[in-house]
Amino acid sequence: DPSAPTVCGLPLKYVSLFTLAIQNALLTIIMHYSRVSTAPAQAYSAASAVLVNELLKGGISLAIALMRIDADIGAPFSFTRAMQLMSPARWHLRLRRLRREIFSNDCWKLSIPAILYVIQNNLQFVAASNLDVATFQVTYQMKILTTAAFSVMLLRRKLSATKWLALLFLAMGVGIVQIQSGARKVHPTPPPSFAAESIEGDLPNVGDLLGAAPTHTMRPLTGFMAVCAACMTSGLAGVYFEMVLKNSQADLWVRNVQLSLFSLIPALVPIVFTAEAGYPGQGWLGRLFRNFTPWAWATVLTQVAGGLVTAIVIKHADNILKGFATSLSIILSFLASVLLFGFTITPAFVLGSSTVLGATWMYNQPEQKGSADGSTISLL
């Protein structure tokens, strides 16, 4: 398609899919490290991270939407035109148009994916704290399954027998990795920085991964349940966002602003209700950012980038191709976790991961002409 948008001559569709694969691998590693590298009492608040993520993503989307709303901004530069663009009258016009678009009649539709994504983004932290990087990555691939299910239900997409078979293999591969992760031995050398303490709240012991004292076991079952729930919200929210986006003329960045605005409410709930007393001299900002190490910031910034790229992928490709991109990131983060976290490769892990990758490949084989997948966006 010659009219498709490009970046440096390459189709935006593939650039965004590739960027998403890299981002996914990075996020899993950085998020996990940000959780396990500090003593448990010094853990940053996941709820704060989710809130800051939404604020930054919303702010960036707002800035892009504001630039896109004025077609003249992209025109060749001239001093007089630049002055006109910066004039208060022009700003007033721009802001009024943008406000009208953001608070459109159908903006409520974004409240559904917004709530789902906030839940998902919180669940990710629980999963990353209780599962090792590779197991998390592979198990999270089950979102291909939920995405398919919701595509069938909401987008009325029809799946061929090959695709259903691929989904079955996917579930089997995830199962194999899951079973072996419970039995796997941990790396024997504990890093000196990791103190033997118990972890508060929803973050049970995570010492196992880095090989701390044997009393430090992560809770793979807790992690697994968190991933399963996150897969449900991922599939539903992704398909719902795709449906809203492709079913209307509204700009992607306006949709993103709406998504972030609706996210603020559920993102604030855990912060308001878990507000801790007893930090004299610390204002609410201090409490919000308590223990925000550079690793915590790196996690949030990687998530922000991921959210923006995900939106581009859903617009220019679709949720199913998105699944393919993220399964590529398994290989990347698997190799990284061998190097960084002393992850041991077991034959079962190799078998399970290969099954997942094979299934993803099979799922993404082009359909034969005349077969299923006449997708119609019929709801809403």
Residues that bind ligand C5P (CB under 6 A): 57, 117, 120-121, 143, 234, 238, 241, 256, 259, 306-307, 310-311
CA 289 – CA 300 distance, rounded (Å): 12
3-state secondary structure of 208: helix
What minimum distance in Å lies between the beta carbon of 234 and ligand C5P? 3
Complex with ligand C5P: residue 27 or 288, whichever CB lies closer: 27
What minimum distance in Å lies between the beta carbon of 287 and ligand C5P? 24
Complex with ligand C5P: residue 15 or 259, whichever CB lies closer: 259
Complex with ligand C5P: residue 296 or 311, whichever CB lies closer: 311
Per-residue DSSP letter, 202: T
Q: Is the distance from CB of 53 to CB of 121 less than 8 angstroms?
A: yes
Question: CB nearest ligand C5P: which residue?
Answer: 307
Complex with ligand C5P: residue 239 or 336, whichever CB lies closer: 239
CA 122 – CA 226 distance, rounded (Å): 9
What minimum distance in Å lies between the beta carbon of 351 and ligand C5P? 24
User: How many residues are given for the chain?
Assistant: 380
Per-residue DSSP letter, 306: H
Nearest partner of 230 among 309, 121, 307, 330, judged by Cα: 121
CA 6 – CA 316 distance, rounded (Å): 11
Complex with ligand C5P: residue 212 or 311, whichever CB lies closer: 311
Give 73's contacts (C-beta < 8 A, 6+ positions apart). Answer: 67, 85
What minimum distance in Å lies between the beta carbon of 5 and ligand C5P? 17
What minimum distance in Å lies between the beta carbon of 255 and ligand C5P? 7
Please identify which residue in the block is written with the tokens 């897969």: 231
Complex with ligand C5P: residue 199 or 309, whichever CB lies closer: 309
What minimum distance in Å lies between the beta carbon of 344 and ligand C5P? 26
Task: Give the Cβ contact number of residue 341 at 10 Å.
Answer: 19
CA 211 – CA 314 distance, rounded (Å): 39
